[in-house]
């Protein structure tokens, strides 16, 4: 497995917890990016919604560039964010390239982001894909900061995509209540998190602006993957090879078109109980070598057999 971060101490922390916090951009850059959001806002086409494509799902209550209806707006936002973040990204990350760039705005009494894991963006048995989450205002519990389950990365949802049922769906309330750690950081700092970590953010309970940026990155030498399940009842998931342009035109509630299917994997869904969730937090990660997992299992069996 290649390193994610250039700093060895931060790498060890990242591999243990699934995230690290770093100083990222300065106040001048914070203000530039904040001003750019409002300057560009008239170009926004508004969020694509599930109801636009016939799905009966709760509407998203935060502004999110990734699902904006105006593709040209998304491209401009991507260029601005990636240019401003480039040198900082390269300072911390070990040769990563950007795939998706978002402004995320929560208005007062809105903006809950449900408990989730980000989608898979590459072969996670070979690498970690990451999100750089950088608030442009001080991030607090009151305004709906990022919250994570430390150590939950690479343990759940090995196959993740918009049409794939999530194994933690039935225990989301328990996880939110018992397992989350809120991350309060000043504007311009960033959380670099493994896309597979379980995370959440609550409603903005303040009267002030809550604005953040997310930049999703994958190792520069790898192609991006997108997992697609043609129907909820299917026992197969397609692996599609895509690029950043794919995400510019992507609608999470429509089937992808004009993409290269490289292979498919078997898929059998199971909703975890809280007890199973707890157990998996302590088990080997799904990117660990099979030999290592087998060895650990044999040790467990030996211990129990002697009791």
CATH code of the domain containing 102: 2.60.120.620
Q: Which residues are within 8 A (CB) of 53 and not within 5 positions of it... i.e. 6 or more apart? A: 251, 253, 254
Residue 2 domain flag: no
Q: How far is CA 29 from the centre of its chain?
A: 23
Domain of residue 204: give its range.
Answer: 8-305
CA distance 24 to 257: 37
* Three-state DSSP state, 302: helix
Q: 31-82, pLDDT tens digit by residue?
A: 999 999 999 999 998 877 655 555 555 667 788 898 899 999 999 999 999 9
pLDDT the model gives residue 254: 75
Residue 111 domain flag: yes
Mean pLDDT of 269-280: 96
- Give me the helix-helix angle, 27-40 and 71-92, nearest 10°: 170
Q: 30-39, pLDDT tens digit by residue?
A: 999 999 999 9
pLDDT the model gives residue 8: 98
Residue 193 domain flag: yes
Residue 173 domain flag: yes
pTM over 0.85: yes
CB contact at 8 A, 160 and 124? no
pLDDT the model gives residue 292: 46
Question: In this structure, what are the phi and psi dihedrals at residue 158, rounded to the nearest 5 degrees?
Answer: -60, -35
CA distance 148 to 145: 10
Mean pLDDT of 160-171: 93
Instruction: Report how many domains make up the chain.
Output: 1
In the chain the beta strands, taken as DSSP E runs, fall at 19-23, 63-64, 96-106, 113-116, 130-135, 146-148, 181-182, 189-194, 199-201, 210-219, 224-228, 236-242, 260-266
């Amino acid at each position: 497995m290649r390193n994610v971060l250039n700093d060895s101490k931060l790498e060890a922390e990242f591999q243990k917890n699934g995230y690290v916090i770093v100083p990222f951009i300065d106040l001048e850059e914070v203000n530039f990016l904040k001003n750019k959001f409002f300057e560009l806002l008239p170009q926004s086409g508004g969020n694509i919604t599930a109801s636009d494509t016939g799905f009966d799902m709760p509407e998203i209550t935060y502004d999110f560039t990734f699902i904006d209806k105006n593709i040209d707006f998304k491209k401009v936002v991507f260029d601005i964010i990636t240019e401003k973040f480039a040198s900082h990204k390269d300072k911390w990350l070990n040769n990563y390239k950007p795939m998706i760039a978002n402004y995320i705005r929560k208005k007062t009494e809105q903006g809950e982001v449900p408990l989730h894991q980000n989608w898979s963006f590459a072969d996670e048995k070979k690498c970690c894909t990451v999100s750089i989450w950088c608030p442009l205002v001080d991030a607090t519990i009151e305004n709906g900061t990022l919250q994570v389950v430390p150590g939950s990365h690479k343990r759940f949802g090995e196959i993740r995509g918009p049409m794939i049922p999530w194994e933690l769906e039935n225990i989301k309330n328990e996880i939110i209540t018992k397992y989350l750690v809120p991350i309060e950081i000043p504007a311009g700092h960033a959380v670099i998190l493994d896309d597979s970590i379980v995370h959440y953010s609550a409603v903005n309970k303040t009267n002030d602006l809550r604005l953040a940026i997310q930049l999703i990155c994958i190792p520069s030498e790898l192609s991006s993957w997108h997992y697609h399940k043609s129907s909820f009842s299917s026992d197969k998931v397609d692996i599609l090879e895509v690029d950043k342009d794919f995400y510019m035109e992507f609608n999470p509630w429509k089937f992808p078109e004009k993409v290269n299917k490289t292979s498919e994997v078997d898929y059998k869904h199971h909703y975890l109980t809280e007890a199973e969730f707890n157990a998996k937090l302590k088990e080997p990660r799904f990117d660990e070598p099979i030999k290592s997992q087998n060895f650990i299992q044999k040790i467990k069996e030996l211990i129990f057999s002697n009791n």
